[in-house]
């Protein structure tokens, strides 16, 4: 039985899960406010990667089994502040409700002549 859809997702999921575990350890065990503050500042940088991965997770689930996708969404939600269902409402319904009709799409990715917008 295949677990991941793509082999490339194995390392990010492992790293994000380990980072989540470290965050839980700091939250429950560390009493030094200076350390916690430094940990928060340092933790901002990995969160950028986690947000990107969460974005892709909502477009194409990482796992074949829905329960593992939900577990990953919980981890990503704790790290980013936006759980999976909240992301769906905000991103898919809020930004890309009309993604197939570029005349109506709130976050257009195509010009009127049909050419793609550049990054």
In a domain, 51, yes or no: yes
Its pTM stands at 0.70
Contacts of 30 (CB under 8 A, 6+ apart): 36, 39
Specify if 98 maps to a domain. Answer: no
118 within some domain: no
Domains of the chain: total: 1
Domain that holds residue 24: 7-82
pLDDT at 52: 78
Q: Is residue 109 part of a domain?
A: no
Let me know if residue 94 belongs to a domain: no
* Dihedral sign of CA atoms 27, 74, 50, 16 in order: positive
Residue 32 lies in a domain: yes
Flag whether 59 is in a domain: yes
Q: Is 23 part of a structural domain of the chain?
A: yes
Model pLDDT for residues 20-67, shown as the tens digit of each residue: 999 999 999 999 999 999 998 988 888 777 877 887 787 788 999 999
Nearest CA to 50 out of 92, 2, 87 is that of: 87
């Amino acid at each position: 039985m295949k677990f991941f859809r793509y082999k490339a997702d194995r390392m990010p999921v492992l790293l994000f899960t380990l980072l989540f575990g470290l965050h839980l350890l700091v939250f429950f065990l560390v009493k030094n406010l200076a350390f916690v503050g430094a940990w928060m500042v340092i933790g901002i940088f990995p969160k950028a990667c986690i947000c990107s991965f969460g974005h892709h997770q909502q477009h194409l689930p990482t796992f074949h089994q829905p329960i593992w996708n939900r577990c990953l969404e919980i981890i990503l939600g704790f790290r980013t502040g936006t759980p999976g269902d909240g992301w769906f409402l905000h991103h898919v319904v809020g930004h890309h409700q009309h993604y197939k009709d570029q005349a109506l799409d709130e976050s257009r990715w195509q010009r009127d002549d049909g050419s793609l917008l550049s990054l």
